[in-house]
Chains A and B, each alone.
Chain A
C-alpha cells in the first residue's frame, strides 16, 4: 500500500495567516493526489483534485501543488471558516489511502 504522510499533524494559526500543509507519498503517484476538508460531525469535502485542480465553489485562497511524491495545500489568507481537519488522499493505486490528517486550530 502507498503510505501518505501529512505534516504537521496539528497547526495553530491566526486569521489572515498563510498556511501550508504538506503530504508525502511513499512512492511516486504522479498527480493523483486529492485534498479534503472535514469539519466536526460532517463528511469530508473535496477541495482539490489532481494535485492542483480547485473544485467548483471552493474559495481561491485554497491552492494545491506538487507531483511525484511531494505535495502541498496552501491557504493564502486563513478565514474563520477554514478551521478544520485536512486530509490528503492518493488515487494512484488501490487501495486508495489517506493521510492521517492535519488539524488546523485557532491561535
Chain B
C-alpha cells in the first residue's frame, strides 16, 4: 500500500523559506503516469493546489505561487520536496503531499498533512 509522509519545520518566520519533504513508501516516485503534488489548506478554509512534479521531473506550479515555489525530487531517496520562499502569515496552512494520477489528475493517495505556521 502506498504511503506518503510529510516532514519539515512546523514554524517558519516571515520572509524566510518554507521547506517540506514528502517521503513515499510502497511505490517508486519514478513510476510512469504518476505525478507528485503539494496541496495546502489554510485553517478552516478550502484546498489550494500548489503544484506537481512528474515522474520525468517536469514541474507545473499554480501561477499565484509560481514566483515563490520550487518542487524537486530525489529518486534515490524516493522523496519529493517543496520550497516556498518569502513566506507571510497568508502561507500558514496544513500542507499535504499527494500522488496525482497522470492524464486525469486526481489525487488518490495523500499524506496525513503537516501544519506550517508562519510567525515571528
Contacts and interface: CB of A to CB of B under 8 A. Distances in A.
Contacts of B47: 44, 87, 89, 98
A89 to B, nearest CB: 7
Given A43-B96, A43-B112, A43-B113, A98 B49 contact: yes
Contacts of A78: none
A95 B49 contact: yes
Contacts of A94: 60, 62
Contacts of B106: 34, 46, 49-50, 89, 91
Interface residues of B: mostly helix, strand, loop or mixed? Answer: loop
Contact of A49 (B48, B62, B104, B110): B104
Interface residues of B, number: 20
A84 interface: no
A98 B108 contact: no
Interface string B33-50: 000000000000011110
Contacts of B63: 1, 95
Contacts of A101: 46
Contacts of A99: 46
Interface string A52-66: 000100000000000
Given A32-B104, A50-B104, A91-B104, A43 B48 contact: no
Interface string B102-120: 0011111011110000000
The 5 closest A-B pairs by CB, nearest first: A91-B105, A43-B110, A34-B106, A95-B62, A98-B47
Given A43-B111, A91-B106, A95-B62, 7 more contacts: A34-B106, A44-B107, A45-B110, A46-B106, A46-B107, A50-B104, A94-B60
Interface of A: 1, 32, 34, 36, 42-46, 49-50, 55, 87, 89, 91, 94-101
